[in-house]
Chain A
Amino acid sequence: GEDVEQSLFLSVREGDSSVINCTYTDSSSTYLYWYKQEPGAGLQLLTYIFSNMDMKQDQRLTVLLNKKDKHLSLRIADTQTGDSAIYFCAERKNAGNMLTFGGGTRLMVKP
């Protein structure tokens, strides 16, 4: 199977919280990343977490890491229409600096 998996689509209402999930397979992953891609744009680094942490918070964003289950999530509090985009998770393996990306989750925020 794929190294990094994400659900394809998530729809939420403005003001609600969004939770985007990601699973990975390599237990030697050192860093895990979340990127945002708006239509026609490049990738914006949102946040990242080191594999020895289980949570990281940055303003409206909360990253949770369950290393035992190899599960990563990104929670966006008070989701706004400007948060509508594709969100990619990515893992960096222990050896080298290559990032392996998930397929991306399209977040749609309804007013």
Chain B
Amino acid sequence: SAVISQKPSRDICQRGTSLTIQCQVDSQVTMMFWYRQQPGQSLTLIATANQGSEATYESGFVIDKFPISRPNLTFSTLTVSNMSPEDSSIYLCSVVTVGRHEQYFGPGTRLTVT
């Protein structure tokens, strides 16, 4: 299985600021994704992080609000910009490993916006 780490594990941020979340995987992966889990809810896909090119965003998510980078096969960042209390969620990085069908999730970053 892939070991995924995320930093920070949690943060409390003020309205209007931005937070960048890092995701590091211990092996080369084919696909990297960012999901959001709002309090008491299921998971919603924000975007697919593409290496060396712009991320592919799902309906309802835009690059200006959630810029994503993926400079190499094992690392990605998600920025939550101009935060509001509605952005309070758990943000999870997820990967699909090379040649496999399993999809693994990181431990998540618990964000609270005040």
Please state if A41 and B107 are interface contacts (CB–CB under 8 Å).
yes
User: Which B residues fall within an 8 A CB radius of A?
Assistant: 1, 31, 33, 41-45, 48, 58, 92, 94, 96, 101-108, 110
Please state if B48 and A45 are interface contacts (CB–CB under 8 Å).
no
Output the nearest chain A residue to B109 by Cβ-Cβ distance: A42
* CB proximity of B76 to chain A, nearest CB, Å: 15
- 14 A–B contacts from the bound complex (CB under 8 Å): A33-B103, A43-B92, A43-B105, A45-B102, A45-B105, A88-B42, A88-B43, A97-B33, A97-B103, A98-B45, A99-B43, A99-B94, A101-B42, A103-B42
Which of A50, A92, A98 has most B Cβ within 10 Å? A98
Residues of chain A within 8 A (CB-CB) of B101 are 31, 48, 50, 92
* CB proximity of B21 to chain A, nearest CB, Å: 13
User: Which A residues fall within an 8 A CB radius of B?
Assistant: 31, 33, 35, 40-45, 48, 50, 88, 92, 97-99, 101-104
Give complex CA distance A42, B106 in Å.
6
Give complex CA distance A41, B4 in Å.
13
Contact of A42 among B31, B45, B108 (CB under 8 A): B108
Please state if A35 and B96 are interface contacts (CB–CB under 8 Å).
no
Contact of B104 among A45, A50, A104 (CB under 8 A): A45
Residues of chain B within 8 A (CB-CB) of A88 are 42-43
Give complex CA distance A35, B58 in Å.
22
Contact of B96 among A97, A103, A104 (CB under 8 A): A97
Please state if A97 and B48 are interface contacts (CB–CB under 8 Å).
yes
* CB proximity of A23 to chain B, nearest CB, Å: 15
Please state if A99 and B31 are interface contacts (CB–CB under 8 Å).
no
* CB proximity of A101 to chain B, nearest CB, Å: 5
Please state if B103 and A45 are interface contacts (CB–CB under 8 Å).
yes
* CB proximity of A72 to chain B, nearest CB, Å: 15
> 8 smallest A-B Cβ distances: which pairs?
A43-B105, A42-B107, A42-B108, A101-B42, A101-B43, A103-B42, A42-B105, A97-B31
